[in-house]
Structure 1
Amino acid sequence: MNSEQLTSLLRTLLQVAGGIAVGRGWIDADTATALTGAIVTILVTLWGLYARRNAALVAAAAKVPEVKTILADPATAIAIPSAKVQPAP
């Protein structure tokens, strides 16, 4: 599942939960809309920070067929299970 699919699923689930909360009178429609937007924004931001950490970027680059070798710091090189990723001298 990619980030776009995850975001769409999250938004839909939050809208359903907001609809239930509004239908039961727990919150009003404006509050449900604001909460849904805030939660999606926060979670997508956290996911973006996680997905763009050094190890994830190097791992993604190692999956590209045109990339032959990646020199990375030793800690990152050890964390990536790919023969393409080598520790920098």
Structure 2
Amino acid sequence: MNQDQLTTLLRTLLQFGGGIAVGRGWIDADTATTLTGALVTLLVTVWGLYVRRNAGLVASAAAVPSVQAILADPATASAIPSPKVKSPA
């Protein structure tokens, strides 16, 4: 799942939940809109930080078919389940 798909899914789920909360009178529509925007922003930021960590970047590169081999530090190499990722030894 890429970041755009994640954002769309989160926004839809939060709007659905916000619609239920507004319909039941728990919150007003402006509050639901504000909470949805804030939560989507926070969750997408956390997701972006997670996928852009060293191991995530190396795993993304290893998934590219034209990449033959990647040399990484031993900790990163052991965290990636790909035969393309090796540590220099």
1:1-89 equivalences in 2 (<5 Å) = 1-89=1-89
Sequence identity of aligned pairs in percent? 75
Q: Tell me the CA shift for residue 3 of structure 1.
A: 2.4
Gaps of 5+ in 2: none
Give me the whole-angstrom Cα distance separating, in 1, the residues matched to 2:45 and 2:51. Answer: 10
Quick one: which amino acid aligns to residue 25 of structure 2? G
- Write out the 4+ residue segments of structure 1 that deviate beyond 2 Å after TM superposition: none
For the aligned residue pairs, the C-alpha RMSD in angstroms reads: 1.2
Quick one: which amino acid aligns to residue 52 of structure 1? R
Q: Tell me the CA shift for residue 26 of structure 1.
A: 1.1
Equivalent pairs counted in the alignment come to 89
Output one character per residue of 1:31-87: Cα deviation in whole Å (capped at 9) or x when no partner.
Answer: 110000000000000001111111111011011122111110011111112221111
